[in-house]
Amino acid sequence: MSHPHPDLGTPPPLAEGALRVTPLGGLGEIGRNMTVFEYGGRLLIVDCGVLFPEEQQPGVDLILPDFTSIRDRLDKIDGIVLTHGHEDHIGAVPFLLREKPDLPLIGSKLTLALIEAKLTEHRIRPYTLEVKEGDRERIGAFDCEFIAVNHSIPDALAVAIRTPAGMVVATGDFKMDQLPLDKRLTDLPTFARLGEEGIDLLLVDSTNAEVPGFIAPERDIGPVLQQVFDRADKRIIVASFASHVHRIQQVLDTAHEFGRKVAFVGRSMVRNMGIARDLGYLKVPGGLVVDVKTLDDLPDEDVVLVCTGSQGEPMAALSRMANRDHQIRIVEGDTVILASSLIPGNENAVYRVINGLTRWGADVVHKGNAKVHVSGHASAGELLYFFNICKPRNLMPVHGEWRHLRAVSDLGQKTGISKDRIVLAEDGVVVDLVDGVAKIAGKVQAGYVYVDGLSVGDITEGSLKDRRILGEEGIISVFLVVDSATGKIVGGPNIQARGSGIEDDAFGPAIQKMQDALSKSAQDGVIEPRQVQQLVRRVLGKWVSDTYRRRPMILPVVVEV
């Protein structure tokens, strides 16, 4: 079993007849999925998604893969294969297409419709190739076969990539629901056929590898929704991912059964459900869906709202409702259903929203107290079954945190895959398939690229550290005027504290310490404004730390006269 190493160097030139696999996101994290395949100097990208920020990344809207390693080779890219339409697989496509708008996008009908709608907002008209399960297309240097897989969004595909170096199968996100709502099963016969042909490297979804057994079918949620609807006396508000068509279909069916009207809330929810309805993936009974503006004319017991925010995203509709910052006001007796799982890292944000909703009197139904969610990812029992069908010569877990990747490694070994044929990598680690053996060859840059408003890549880890300090410790500004010739103070220092918990009039002892230190430094000839600023920051910082055990950001402003 290969292990990434922090001292890995730049990979050597790719050997002739070899295939290179470089994950730029999705390994060691849930999200930002993107993998680059290289053969004969040509590149194929599978997925290009985003990661959503956590609490320790204040002000960040999205996190992108780092395109640095491919930026000077964009003209070598034969296409971008998109396995399905979730944001963690398509969300970064607009940012890559900003750099080269004519990169071809390959995907299923629904996936392409979702990304095209997103690209319209970025004023990009993409080149697209629509494929479906069973199709086999030559995409430049890569012979790609597309396989149906079942997931929590319709039209998901796995892809088998054939080159003279061997065949790689990337599952994308998948599970093996045997009773899917759309009757579209994961195509196990095709995977078995590929296994017989010989899968040289299998890149497999790892998210649920720690979960024993088999995932419950999506249709099991229907009876639970019926129970919740039956006991609800007032409005029902359902929070879900804006692309979870199967889940929202069940909400629509249950609302229709109970005679309620449904309104979609939030731009992405309205857009995606409109696309799914227009393409026939969402079946909407006539008159069921109404505009949110008409809800005031309906009794509460006849209303269902479907919105975003199931992960506690601060700007999503549900979070704003919990904070009393939305036109829809939560009132006593409302029922709120969080119809999704908890993505690792979002727990605190989600429970903060649950507490906020409960505070206003809502009955909050979530995965912890009712079966209102089933996962879209294969669990351990399904993966064992899958490995026995595919019989891969080499295995590379993807789409998961480290605990998930190692769990897949353990499962693979149980099915007879040799330990030295299982590659445990992380973002940026380069894996070469040479003569049927997958080995780590080096590492490329694959850090976080932050999107903050209109800024892409300008925010650094240092900037985020400053923001965290400002949020947690506050800021103290110091203003003083010094004589440019002598360095002596002729005005100030004046101190203002914000967010530090220290009153402005408490700085008397600190002012005296600064005056003494500056007087001594002036005698020593230290009169440069930059040196004075550093001295003020050091003296005041030590006083605050010793007195209050705090470390706020200190911003000295020195004016010479």
Q: Are 186 and 150 in contact (CB under 8 A)?
A: yes
- Expressed in angstroms, the distance from the first to the final Cα of the chain is 67
CA distance linking residue 471 with residue 195, whole number of Å: 53
Q: How many CB atoms lie within 10 A of CB 69?
A: 19
- What's the rounded Cα separation, in Å, for the pair 515 and 496? 17
Is 40 annotated as belonging to a binding site? no
The annotation status of 376 as a binding-site residue, yes or no, is yes
The sign one gets for the Cα dihedral 302, 304, 305, 310 is positive
Say if residue 377 carries a ligand binding annotation: yes
C-alpha closest to that of 48 among 99, 102, 94: 94
Residues 101, 323: Cα–Cα separation, whole Å: 40
Task: Tell me how far apart the alpha carbons of residues 537 and 556 are, in angstroms, rounded to a whole number.
Answer: 7
| Torsion over CA: 293, 296, 298, 300 (sign) | positive
DSSP 3-state of 59: coil
477 a known binding residue?
no
Residue linked to tokens 């009169």: 527
CB 180, CB 374: distance < 8 Å: no
89 is in an annotated binding site: no
Residue 516, token pair as written in the block: 């003494």
Matching residue, tokens 């200190």: 554
Nearest to 102 by CA among 75, 68, 83: 75
The full DSSP string for 129-157 is EE--TT-EEEETTEEEEEEE-B-SSTT-E
Residues belonging to the binding site are 373-377
Residues belonging to the binding site for substrate are 373-377
